[in-house]
Structure 1
Amino acid sequence: MINSLMISKTGMQAQQTQLDVISNNLANVSTNGFKRATAVFEDLMYQNLRQVGANTAEQAELPTGLQVGLGVRTVATSRNFTQGSLQQSGNALDLAVNGGGFFQVQMPDGTTGYTRDGSFQLDAQGRMVTSSGYPLTAGITLPAESQSITVSSDGVVTAKLPGNPVPQQVGNIELANFINSAGLEPLGQNLFAESLASGNPITGAPGSAGLGTVMQGMVETSNVNVVQELVTMIQTQRAYEMNSKAIQTSDQMLQRLSQL
């Protein structure tokens, strides 16, 4: 009887975590390059009250045992890196990866961050930077007199300068991919960091080595499906209510037992 109270408590905690994950997904439904997450659960250890296969008599074995579970716990949040929709923006500095791969940006501590958000801007030095001001690791800087910028599908960046009919190449954008993208560590600000679980980055020009191509004037939207999240939210609410009801039922049974 007491076990049921603790088991239902773990169920309520698990569903609360699930709701937290859903809330974060819905909050970032309009975030460029955001990848939805799901909570992953596992059952806790079991009380083995009767061993399966134990002898009950001579040449007789139990076909089933008696194990009582002790609840559930959250073990991970799995991130879904499926492609988001590509939306045309008309901004020449907006880039989207069509396929696998991440843009590489230089972090303040010298490490490399990885992002699917290609809504770049120019800083005071003419460098291509993220919305948070982190420059691309390729160090692409546009001349101050640039009239226009073109980014090819394989990452070659050219700028048109006054008095010169031939565009000048100013840099190359390289993408990075990982064997286990779900193992990347989220840093916030639409950035991820390499981890032991993700493996080492595989870098190269867009369109090569399984990497996606770069599309100029477009941004990748979030891959959150609002309808799916709302359905999951309703399921989570019902599961939370059922666990709460189990606690109330256990309490009522204990009260009845104490009256005997």
Structure 2
Amino acid sequence: MSFQQGLSGLNAASKSLEAIGNNVANSGTVGFKQSQVQFADIYASTLSGSGAAQIGIGTQIARVAQLFSQGNITASNNPLDMAINGDGFFRMSSGGTISYARNGQFELSKEGFIQSASGARLTGYMADANGVVAIGAPAELKINKADLAPEATTKYELKLTLDSRKNVLNSANFNPDDPTTFNDSTSVPVYDSLGNSHILRTFYVKTAGGEWDVFATNDGVPIGYDPAAVPPANAPVALGTMQFGPGGVLIPSIPPTPLVVPMDVSTGATTPFNIVIDHTGTQQFAQSFGVNKQLPDGFPPGTLTAFNVASDGSIVGRYSNGKVNVLGQVILSSFANPNGLQNIGDNQWVETAESGVALTSAPGSSGLGSVQSARIEESNVDLTAELVNMITAQRYYQANAQTIKTQDQILQTLVNLR
């Protein structure tokens, strides 16, 4: 009598129940991938090589495969939580030891590194102070909380509509404090090299049918004096004259276009700093004065107030001065055979010869999935299906136990023969 078949069946059913139990236990584990026990039959070899009358001697476990199907993605209140939508793994570093994970529940360490609950640090590409990502060897991602340095204003794009119906004035009488000496004006904040704010105000005085003199003040102080002007002494000098054709279009070939404004400051910053005012697109029509575009560059210093992760893995920081800057980029890795990865616990795998070499790139490229910020990927365990599988495995175990019982009864009958 042979008990081999029943014993192998009991062992297989027991392992199947263990895998199902592990799946059920991790049904709430973020990034968990369910396991599935796969079986193979066993046949003893024969001297004749003929299998016509061969009877198998049971079953064996061929492998325990993990199913890397996509889990449901749900919202999170943590901006550092990330979910991978598609193929790929987060590349983690623990003291230089590389591992891979689908669990994107991250936090900041006291040093500013992005790390998992187990302390493994997320890797990617770092960015320089200008937000340019340095693509090369992956490094442990660290959020730079340093203030964003100020940038002095150097260019001011200003597109206006001037009212051709306005009266002609004598620009020699221009006084920024007397609105009767100019036709229109507009102002904008600009910044010196230390980030101090200054108000640049431009004034427009119609001197002829298609000509407008342009004046400016810096924090209320007129820019450009002519000490030889008498009277009055130190009268402001126009920065330049804009001329328009019969169709109301600015004639760019007549200088000075654009205008250069020297900004003198006493804040300890670079002085003067020149601002180029580009009036391209300004027009003169029979309609009210209007500002169609007002875009100076430069900005004051700013502190990091928040950051989020874009779908391509870019970590984008937002600063108190309204600017955004790229701080780094998360990368993903994929494998030719994910089932060849070795599970080391803590929702992590390591590369093996069976998995193949990791192919690492930015999310959304090379067949990799995208990254979603403030999201988590739930376990892909179907709890209902696992409970049904548990019942099936239990019946399977009972049936194999019954074959052993039957074999025992037959053997007992033979022993009792006289």
TM-score (norm 2): 0.57
Are positions 1:41 and 2:39 aligned together? yes
Q: Alpha-carbon deviation of 1:224? A: 0.1
Task: Spell out, residue by residue over 1:13-61, the C-alpha distance to the aligned partner (whole angstroms, 9 max, x if none).
Answer: 1110111111100000000000001011111223649764xxxxxxxxx
CA apart distance, 1:68? 1.7
Q: C-alpha distance in 1, partners of 2:71/2:122? A: 22
Aligned partner (choices 315, 318, 334) of residue 157 of structure 1? 315
Say what the alpha-carbon RMSD is for the aligned residues. Answer: 1.5
Match of 2:394 in 1: 237
In structure 2, the CA distance between the partners of 1:49 and 1:71, relative to structure 1 (3 Å rule), is farther
1:123 aligns with 2:109: yes
41 and 166 in structure 1: CA distance in 2 versus 1, 3 angstrom threshold: same
SS in 1 for 2:403: helix
2:9 matched residue in structure 1: 11
Letter in 1 for 2:42: L
Whether contact under 8 Å (1:50, 1:65) holds in the other structure is no
Alignment of 1:1-260 (within 5 A): 1=1, 3=2, 5-46=3-44, 48=46, 52=50, 65-108=52-95, 110-138=96-124, 139-144=140-145, 146-162=304-320, 164-260=321-417
Distance 1:201 1:235 in 2: 37
8 Å Cα contact 1:51/1:65 also seen in 2: no
Aligned residue for 1:137, secondary structure, equals strand
Distance of aligned partners of 1:111 and 1:258 in 2 relative to their CA distance in 1, 3 Å threshold: same
Query: 1:214 aligns to what SS in structure 2?
Result: strand
Cα distance between partner residues in 2 of 1:210 and 1:236: 37
Q: Distance in 2 between the 1:121 and 1:21 partners?
A: 31
- Secondary structure of 1:25's counterpart equals helix
CA deviations on 1:116-157 (whole Å, 9 max, x unpaired) are: 111110110111101111111222222345311121110111
Report the AA paired with residue 205 of structure 1.
A
Higher helix share: 1
Partner residue in 1 for 2:232: none
CA distance in 1, matches of 2:123, 2:362: 13
d(CA) in 2 for partners of 1:35, 1:10: 27
Larger radius of gyration: 2
CA distance in structure 2 between the partners assigned to 1:179 and 1:51 by the alignment: 37
Task: Report the Cα offset of residue 90 of structure 1.
Answer: 2.4
Determine helix, strand or coil for the equivalent of 1:254.
helix
Question: Structure 2: where are the runs of 5+ without partners?
Answer: 125-139, 146-302
In structure 1, distance between residues paired with 2:141 and 2:319:
16
**Range that drifts further, 153-162 or 6-15:** 153-162
Contact 2:94/2:119 (8 A) holds in 1: no
